[in-house]
Amino acid sequence: MVTSASTSGGAVRSYRRRVARPAAISAAICSLLLLTLSLWNLAVAKWLHKRNPVPGNFYTVEGSQMHIDCSGSGSPTVVLEESASSPWSQWRKVQPELAKITRVCSYDRAGHGWSEPRKGPRDAETIVRELHSLLDQAGVQRPIILAAHSAGGLYVREYAKEHPSEVAGVALIDSSSPQQIDELPGFRADYEQDKRNAKREWWIDRLLVWSGWERLVGHCSVPAENYPGWAGQYDAMACRPDYVHTEECELEYLEESSKQAGRLTSLGHIPLVVITRDPEFRKDLSPQGVEETSVWQREQEASKSLSPLSWRVIARNSGHTIPRDRPDVIVAEVTRLIGYLRGGPAPPFGSTATK
C-alpha cells in the first residue's frame, strides 16, 4: 500500500537529485576552470622568466637562493640597498652610470625581486647577516660604499655598526630615520593599522594571484613606456604565486629594525653624504604627507651628525623616489664620495645645498 507520506518522500528525493546533479556539474566546471587558470598563470610566469633572463648571479645563503647583480670595475665597490618592497631594478638608472667609474652591486633581499622568500624574522640584524654572507660568496672586496634608499638606510646603519672596518663610505638617500615611527605625524597609527590589515590582505591577494584572476584582468604587467628596457623584467616578477606579499615581509619588523639601527650613534670618520627629497616638491602628497615634510627634513639634517665628514644635498624637484626622479644627483654625489676616497678633493663637509 502506497501512503501519501511515502509518495511525498520519494518526490523530495527525486527533486534533490534533479537539483544536486546540475549543482555538482557546475561545481566541477568551476573547479576545472579555476585549475586551468591557475596552471595558465604559473605557465605564463615561467615563460616570462625564461624570456627575460635575470642579470647577475645567484648564491645559496642559509639555504635559500639570493640574487646579486654586479657590474663595472674599480674600488671601492658600491653596494646598493633598495627601499622597502623594491627589487634590485630600482637602481636601473643609477647602477649603469656608477659602473662607468667603479664596481657596483645591487641585490634582492629575501622575498624581493629574484631572491627566494624565506621564513623567520626579517629585521635589520637578519638582513645584514644575509647580505654579509652574500657579499662573501660573490667575492665583493671590502671596504665598500653602502648606498641606501628609504628603509634600506636602516639596514646600512646596522651593517656599519656590525662591520665598521668594512665600510669606506655611506650614502643615505631620503633614508628612514630610526625615530620616524613616533616622530612623523600619524605614522604610528598608520603603521599599526597596516600590520593589522596585512594578514587579511595577504589571503585575498594570494587567492587572486593563485587563481590566475590578476593576470586574466591585466594586473600583471607594467606600461612599457614607463620602464624603457625593463618592462619585461617587471612583468616576469609580477603575479608569481610563491611571491605574493613576500616583498612586504619586512613591514612587521620595521619597529625592531628601527631600534637596531638606532644603536648606531656615530660612523666615526667614515664619510657620509645625505641626499634628500625637495621639501617644496609636493606633487601627489596627501595632507598628512605635507604635515610630515618638516619633520622628515629635520630628521634628514640630523643624520649628518653621524659623521663629521658629512654633507647634504637636496634633490630639486624630486619626491621620495630619488633613484627614479633625480638619479643624476645620486650619481654625482656618490662619484664625489668615490673621488674623495681615492685621494681627490674633499666634499663640502658640513654643508647643505640644493641641486
pLDDT of residue 9: 53
The whole-angstrom separation of Cα 281 and Cα 242 is 38
Supply the DSSP symbol for 166: G
pLDDT of residue 120: 92
DSSP assignments along 200-238, one per residue: HHHHHHHHHHHTTHHHHTT-S---GGGSTTTHHHHHHHT
Neighbours of 102 (CB within 10 A): 19
Q: Is the pLDDT of residue 198 over 70?
A: yes
Domains of the chain, first to last: 57-180+254-354 (3.40.50.1820)
Q: How confident is the model at residue 2 (pLDDT cuts 50, 70, 90)?
A: very low
pLDDT of residue 21: 61
Q: Which range is most confident: 2-6, 10-14, 170-174, 241-245? A: 170-174
Contact 172, 272 (CB under 8 A): yes
Higher pLDDT, 211 or 135: 135
Q: Is the pLDDT of residue 106 over 90?
A: yes
Q: How confident is the model at residue 8 (pLDDT cuts 50, 70, 90)?
A: low
pLDDT of residue 30: 67
Contact 47, 56 (CB under 8 A): no
Q: How confident is the model at residue 229 (pLDDT cuts 50, 70, 90)?
A: confident
Q: Is 280 helix (H, G, I), strand (E, B) or coil?
A: coil
Residue located via cell numbers 633572463: 53
**Which amino acid does the sequence have at 166?**
E
Region 77-100: mean pLDDT is 96
Tell me whether strands 167-173 and 104-107 are parallel, antiparallel or unpaired: unpaired
Contact 50, 61 (CB under 8 A): no
Question: Tens digit of pLDDT for each residue in 139-158?
Answer: 999 999 999 999 999 999 99
Q: Nearest to residue 68, comparing CAs of 56, 60, 77, 80? A: 56
Q: Nearest to residue 168, comparing CAs of 140, 133, 139? A: 140
The whole-angstrom separation of Cα 128 and Cα 163 is 10
Residues in CB range of 353: below 8 A, 6 or more apart: 311, 312, 313, 314
Give me the chain's average pLDDT, please: 90
Q: Is the pLDDT of residue 127 over 50?
A: yes
DSSP β-bridge partners for residue 17:
none
Q: Is the pLDDT of residue 5 over 70?
A: no
DSSP assignments along 88-155, one per residue: GGGGTTTHHHHTTTS-EEEE--TTSTTSPP--S--SHHHHHHHHHHHHHHTT--SSEEEEEETTHHHH
DSSP β-bridge partners for residue 69:
106
Neighbours of 111 (CB within 10 A): 21
Neighbours of 117 (CB within 10 A): 17
Higher pLDDT, 141 or 292: 141
Q: How confident is the model at residue 306 (pLDDT cuts 50, 70, 90)?
A: very high
Q: Is 59 helix (H, G, I), strand (E, B) or coil?
A: strand
pLDDT of residue 318: 96
**Which amino acid does the sequence have at 82?**
E
pLDDT of residue 334: 98
CA dihedral 45, 51, 54, 55 (to 10 degrees): -160
Region 11-31: mean pLDDT is 58
Q: What cell was used for 133?
A: 654572507
pLDDT of residue 263: 97
Q: What cell was used for 228?
A: 624603457
